[in-house]
Amino acid sequence: MQYFPAFMKLEGGSCLIVGGGEAALAKLRLLEKGTGSITLVAPRILPAIEEVVRCGRVIWEARPFTGEDVRDRRLVFAATGRGEVDERVSVSAQAAGVPVNVVDGPAASSFITPAIVDRDPILIGVSSAGTAPILARSIRAQLEALLPAELGRLARFADSFRGAVKAVIPSFIGRRRFWEDFFASPVARQVLAGQEQQAREAMLSRINRGQGSTAQGTSVEGSVALVGAGPGDPELLTLKAQRLLQGADLIVYDRLVNPAILEHARRDAERLFVGKTPAAHHKTGSHQESQGEIQQILLQAVRNGRRVVRLKGGDPFVFGRGGEELSYLEAAGVTVEVVPGITAATGCAASGRIPLTQRGLAQSVTFVTGQGEQAASEPDWQSLARLGGTLCFYMGVATADRIAEKLMVAGMNGATPVTVVEKGTLPEERCLPGRLDGLPALIAAEAVEAPALIVIGEVAGTQNINRLPSFAAAV
């Protein structure tokens, strides 16, 4: 992040604009909406600026700029369009520790002005860090169309009840739940429609109900959602997953969850990593949480009134142990929401252009875990070898030699195509084609690391065809 987004308080401060042309007029119109005083320094000004000066909000000093002009300013704008003058303004302001913006000069600026959506007191700033201001304005226009014109009225309405809500709902979590429910309620829609008197009566009723629900120490009800994070690409999150991440108090996440996905969570949400490396699943004395410990963490958080998102790579119910967590929590009386995610087989195969089923090549697809080492968890290798469809092995990098050996012993042809998709859907994705009898050597030679999916079957042979002829798009 090249620029840190912040909102400057203008009330009680003085801003300086240097220049009297169109650029200065644009900055003047921007600052006019604030509550601070404005001084404009320029030998000559446009007639449109003269009209603003006559209204009394702006002090015009008809002279050239001097270094003393920046003293005690809240913000400074250099808008003369003359490089040597704007440079002097920038140097003087930065030497005095005053934030300065040079119009069309981001290199000489200590801050930049974003495209602004103004629903006072709600403000949204959209910035491209000076690289594409037209794009930023286009995004602002889209936001303007989405947001109600009376959004500021709703914010002021809520502010007028903050003290009353705090007085009757002492719990921070309880107050946040109250406001989350309020902004999605018919009362909020009444405010936006201009029916403020009816909204005030309804709001008092909601506050009284909130007081009753928290009386005598009654705790706020918590919840758990088992959410699939998909194979890695944040854009593959479902809309419901994003909504739940925005409302969560606690996010309990696994090793396979891309950190970029956590950026979709509310910034003040607690994040708790409970990931297990593949080799640590059955080790005792590991510093990593066991499955039982994870389940206890979820239950305790719910009993403390927290909204919990249990975030899992892929889909919670496909080799994610989501079923175990669901059974444990429901047995304890907890209501659990399950949000599916794109599992690795479908996500990685799509990213690698591998059709899991295709007429004439594969009529079925089977998901298999590559971690089974005990007799009870061994797959039926004979059946897998006879299926004739597509096999997708999860977590099979460390056991690829055994997978290949068992399948060939069971009768699968060693020339059967395979493709290893490493870090599928991520920028560093690699698709490595080969044969079943060369699978262990392929993984060793390419130093494949988890997470990786192993696709075995005739469809894996289409990977080379689909990836190579990029020239076709240009024909």
End-to-end CA distance of the chain: 39
Q: Encoding tokens for residue 156?
A: 């002021």
Verify cis geometry, omega within 30 degrees of 0, for the bond prior to 451: yes
Residue located via tokens 């239950």: 299
CA distances from 145 to 80, 141, 148, 186 (A): 33, 6, 8, 21
Rounded Cα gap, residues 459 and 286, in angstroms: 40
Distance between CA atoms of 471 and 475, rounded to whole angstroms? 7
Cβ(311)–Cβ(251) below 8 Å:
yes
HSE, side-chain direction, 13 A CA sphere, residue 16: 27
Number of CB atoms found within 10 A of residue 136's CB: 20
Is the CA virtual torsion 298, 246, 155, 27 positive or negative? positive
Q: What is the dihedral of CA 262, 264, 265, 266, to 10 degrees?
A: 140
Q: Is residue 116 helix, strand or coil?
A: strand
Alpha-carbon distance of 412 to 340, in angstroms, equals: 33
Strand bridging mode 100-102 / 75-78: parallel
Instruction: List active site positions.
Output: 254, 276
